[in-house]
Amino acid sequence: MATEGVRAASAREIAALLHDAPLDEIEALAKRYGDDPRAQVRKAAAQALRRYEKQMGERQRVLDMYQLERELAGPGIALGVDEVGRGAIAGPLTVCAVALPSEPVIWGLNDSKQLTPQKREALAARIAEVALAIGIAHIEPASIDAVGMGSAIRMGMSQAIENAGIEPDAVLIDGNPVHVHPREKTLVKGDARVACIAAASIVAKVTRDAMMCAYAEDYPDYHLDACKGYGSAEHIEAVRALGCSPIHRVSFCGNFLETPRLF
């Protein structure tokens, strides 16, 4: 009895296969179908190969972040530190300190400002799963008004490092020297170049954004869920009309209020 031949895959089916292929299969599939006589298949193979090259480049970028962390910190525990909210006119300055293991690598790590809110949320959850330690500190607006931003940053970083609950072999900080730890090392744009600093920037951003959205329920007229406490046009106009709420930095509002008023 004759066996019915196996139906050849259509160009549309092969294109779908190439589009959905996992990273470790793309290169072989693209090579297999790169010379297919059907234009749709060749186009799909070329697109898949470009996707592979882009993703491999992205993975190398993240691996380089881990490598630079090791070069700066050595074989011990590196604690990355970063802050968010420095330029806001309302809400706290939030500082986070994060220590990461070498494995598993957290793919997608980057400066929080380079990520979408959805990507930040997903990465913050992944960081919470695998981190060796996380410390968070909030410096409230009244303290910022009292001591100034420079002192507030040092206070926040010291508290976040302490709250991490570990003794780090190196403290890696984004930006310029802060002098908060004897094992401190700083790196300009470190949040985009060092894995643990990037993780700290993400956790700090996600944590503070959630706080500002909660504050928006208490102070709905200031558009805090949209601006996260920064000086958007709508936020500044609300302060001009209503004065400062208890979570505003009065010292930051003098540029657009003749006499800052408390809510």
Q: Residues 233-243: pLDDT tens digits?
A: 999 999 999 99
pLDDT at 259: 53
Report the alpha-carbon distance of residue 178 to residue 250 in Å, rounded. 25
Over the stretch 175-186, which tens digit does the pLDDT of each residue have? 899 999 999 999
Average pLDDT of the residues in 169-179: 94
Average pLDDT of the residues in 134-140: 98
pLDDT at 231: 93
Task: Flag whether the pTM goes above 0.75.
Answer: yes
Contacts of 103 (CB under 8 A, 6+ apart): none
185 contacts 173 by C-beta, under 8 angstroms: yes
Q: How far apart are the first and last CA of the chain?
A: 89
pLDDT at 30: 83
Q: What is the mean pLDDT of the chain?
A: 91
Residue with tokens 């011990």: 76
33 contacts 45 by C-beta, under 8 angstroms: yes
Q: Residue 128 pLDDT more than 60?
A: yes
| CB-neighbour burial class of residue 137 (10 A; exposed 0-12, middle 13-18, buried 19+) | buried
CB neighbourhood size of 76 (10 A)? 12
- Computed on alpha carbons and rounded to an integer, the radius of gyration of the chain in Å comes to 24
92 contacts 211 by C-beta, under 8 angstroms: yes
CA dihedral sign, ordered 195, 75, 95, 129: positive
Q: Residue 191 pLDDT more than 90?
A: yes
Residue with tokens 């894995």: 195
Q: Residue 2 pLDDT more than 70?
A: no
Report the alpha-carbon distance of residue 47 to residue 41 in Å, rounded. 10
Over the stretch 51-97, which tens digit does the pLDDT of each residue have? 888 888 899 999 999 999 999 998 899 999 999 999 999 999 999 99
Strands (E), 123-242: 133-139, 170-174, 184-187
The one-letter amino acid code at 222 reads Y
Over the stretch 246-256, which tens digit does the pLDDT of each residue have? 999 999 998 77
Q: Which domains does the chain have, with CATH numbers?
A: 11-71 (no CATH), 75-206 (3.30.420.10)
pLDDT band at 158 (very low <50, low <70, confident <90, very high): very high
Average pLDDT of the residues in 195-212: 98
